[in-house]
Every structure is written in C-alpha cells, then in structure tokens.
Structure 1
C-alpha cells in the first residue's frame, strides 16, 4: 500500500508519525504534498515520508489517499486530481465532509471512507471515528481499519453523529490539556516543580482513563471508590460540583455544536 497525504498539517503529521511508529507501513511508502514546500520538506526530514513537488505527482504515486487539507480547499483539490483517482481509495480526515458530500462530487469512481481522528494518534492513543456510510469493499475496509487501529481505538458512527463525536474526540484533547495545566498549577502553588507536576497530573489522567476503559465501570462508581466518608476527595468533589464542573463541560460542547 502506498499512501498519499493531501496536506501535511498537525493532524496529518500525527497520523503519519503514528503509522511509521507502529511499523504498519514503511516510511518509504508514505508520500505527501502541501503547497508550502519548505515546510513540507522540513516535516519530511523529521517524520520520514517522501515529499512530492506537485499534487499530480502525488496522485500518480499512490493508491490510497488521505485528504488532510483544509475543508475549504477540498473542492479545488478534487478538481485537479479527480481523473487520477479512478479506482483508488480516498480516506478523508477533514471536518465537515461526509461520504455523501464526496460521493456527490466523485460518484462511484472513487471509493471513500470518512474518518474523524484526534491528535493522540501520534502516540497510539487516539480515537478514530469511522463514518458507517462508505464505499470501500470489505477487504479495503478491513485493511484501512487495521492500519488506523495502530493509532488508537476505532468506533463507527452514522453520519448524523459524526459531528458530535468529532466535537468530543477532536476538540477534547485541548480540554484535557487545560485540565492538566490547571491541576499542575495547583501542584506548583503548593511547592511541586512544574515538570514533576505535569508528570503526576498527566499520569493520573492516563491511569484513570485506562482503568475506566479496562473495567468498563461507570465513572461514578470509580469516583465513589476514591471518596471515603468525610475524607479529602469528597471535599474536592463537592467544590467541583458547587462550581459547576459538569455544566461547564457540557457547555463547551454546546458552544462547538452551535458554531
């Protein structure tokens, strides 16, 4: 499989880095094109993929493409290379583009799968949301899922739920980083060094998340297990509840969905 990235922004870098780190695909089989050739070549030197000097060169070099440019650029890109995509696979990671939208432009000539990934894919802990509606054959779908499973977990959602799913998993890392920074600030306030604070808080978040995933226990049950009667943790929980933690979290997603 020769994979071509159309665009090489932060998300594409995370995916390409994850593919190479997982050894699911060799770096000499990963190609990319972006208009900013200087930045593209710099990224190629860091990650190991092969930079292409033109979008047409990329189209001729690969059989699977990852559409990772800005959503508003997609129609222009497709107008340039549509004829060279015949019989090939297009995997889109662009927000706001569904299988139906691609199919309206490409018809049945190109097999399409839309995915919403997130940046933790770079370390193999991402969330890959696969839109259920696609035109890949069974073998291709299995191969693409196997490839992306090296970057994290895969969940399928209907087109109608890809927006909210992407809001949670795609924007979520920024929210988690804010929480890490906030609790690290608290640790620093009481004397722990900044570097140690980040390590303690990040590992606490990682461990808590893995415990929930492994046990599949309700988060409330896991929370209760830490809250001893009259203890310190329940006092902290009480403060979070009084300050509206749940409502703030839900409101952040409301703001995204209303944008």
Structure 2
C-alpha cells in the first residue's frame, strides 16, 4: 500500500491496528506517523516499531493519506476540530471511537470529507478481531479496499451500513464479555468435577476457539454442528437439554437486545 498512515492517539486498540498493519507488511514503518499527548509514549512506540514521531496532531494530519482517530470517544470531536484545517482534501479519516456517528464527524470535519466509522473489538489485541467499517458516500472503492486490508491484518472486517451499528455492538463489540463469562462458567464446572483451574480454562477456551473455527470454516449451520456432537442418549444431549430448560438461547437474545437498546440510547445522548 503506497500510503502514509497517521495515528492520532495510540492506546490498546490503536496499537493493535499498528501492530497488525506492520506485521502484514502492507506499510513500512517509515510511512507511519504517531502522535499521542505523551511524548514518552510516542518515543516508546517509535522505538518498538520503528515508526515516525509526530509532535502534534496537526503534523499527522498534514502528512498522512489515511488518518486514524484512535482517541477516547469523549474527546474525538474536539481532536477532529483541531486537525480539520490541516487535513488534505483527499485524506481518508478513520474513526475508531465508539458512539461517534458519521454525521457527528462530518459536522466537525465537513461534509466534503472522506470518513469511515470503524468498530473493532478487543480480540483485535490478539490478532483475532472483528471490525465493522461504515464509509460515507465520498469514500471510494479503493479507500474501502485499503481499509478492509488494514483491519483484516489483525482479524476479520466487513462493510456494514450505519443503521446496523447497534447489532454490531451486540454481536461483536460487547460479545467478548459474554464469551468470557461462558468460558469461566464452563471452567468452574470442570473444577467442580476435579480438574485443576488452569487446565480447566485452557480446555474451555480451546473448545470455544475450535467451535467458532468450525462455524467459520465448514459453512455449516451452527445447529447442524451441534447435532453432530449430540449422540443419541449421550452426554452432550443431556447438557443441551438443561441449557434449553434454563432458557439459554432466550437469555443470550435478551441480553443482546438490552445491549443494543443501550447502544441506541447512548447514541442519542
């Protein structure tokens, strides 16, 4: 990718993007500039990755063809207002701030700017992220392809219409928390059965990884894969019966519905 990339803010998510991008070989360190309010943090990132140090967000905006806004949502619009006059006309701005809409960004940057709203999730930190990308009408197909390549360097990414952003929050953004709870509960049960806790976590987590991989790679319906494990009169169907009796599916759906409703509420505030 023959582009200069800039990061304004580089916390956990920003560094996950940076690390994935460099590991993929799409962009060389010499073509990346980083700014954070902490000079020590900038120096540390530069030493670790070999990227350029920027002394202000405006410097990043002037140099970069693609600018990542990776600051906290509560200061994103303020930061965007500070760099607006420094951006080049064709610069692509990618925001990873949750809850900040394309209209919010355009109201600050101008409605003639190319903007993508991105929502990665925390597994991006271990190169297994899932990211939604929502471009505005001015973003070109080449820009979208470049953005997809960047986010796919540390997981999976898909283009999603903005009206679907609340389901994205429920099914991807917040869902690692539900999965962690499921892993913890399975491990607790294994400990109850006598397994050492560290080993129980490993068995439970690997079972989740493997099951998810089967869904993604076989193309089979999750119900079909479930049926493959449930032998007649066997152990698995006993567990499935209890989960059905306890309302497992309904509880997950209700929880995600609450999550989506909260996302809608926050977006209006």
Residue 191 of structure 1: aligned partner: 194
Deviations 1:104-146 (A, max 9, x none): 3322443111111112223332212121544222222222222
Residue 11 of structure 1: aligned partner: 13
Alignment check: 8 A CA contact 1:86 1:109 kept: no
- Out of 53, 56, 72, the position equivalent to 1:54 is 56
- Out of 77, 80, 87, the position equivalent to 1:78 is 80
TM-score of the pair, normalised by structure 2: 0.86
- Out of 107, 110, 114, the position equivalent to 2:113 is 110
Whole-angstrom CA distance in 2 between matches of 1:185 and 1:43: 39
Deviation at 1:179, TM superposition (A): 1.5
Change (3 A) 1:188 1:51: farther
Deviations 1:187-212 (A, max 9, x none): 23323333322222222111111111
Residue 156 of structure 1: aligned partner: 159
Deviation at 1:258, TM superposition (A): 2.7
Change (3 A) 1:38 1:250: farther
Change (3 A) 1:251 1:49: farther
Deviation at 1:44, TM superposition (A): 5.0
Q: How does 1:1-259 map to 2 (within 5 A)?
A: 1-42=3-44, 45-46=47-48, 49-87=51-89, 88-131=91-134, 133-259=136-262
Structure 2 portions without partners, runs of 5+: 263-269
Runs of 4+ in 1 over 6 A off after TM superposition: none
Whole-angstrom CA distance in 1 between matches of 2:250 and 2:108: 41
- 3-state SS of the aligned residue for 2:174? helix
Structure 1 portions without partners, runs of 5+: none
Deviation at 1:51, TM superposition (A): 4.2
- 3-state SS of the aligned residue for 1:94? coil
Alignment check: 8 A CA contact 1:129 1:166 kept: no
- 3-state SS of the aligned residue for 1:150? helix
Task: State the superposition RMSD in angstroms.
Answer: 2.2
Change (3 A) 1:169 1:110: same
Residues paired across the two proteins, number: 259
Whole-angstrom CA distance in 2 between matches of 1:174 and 1:47: 30
Change (3 A) 1:38 1:252: farther
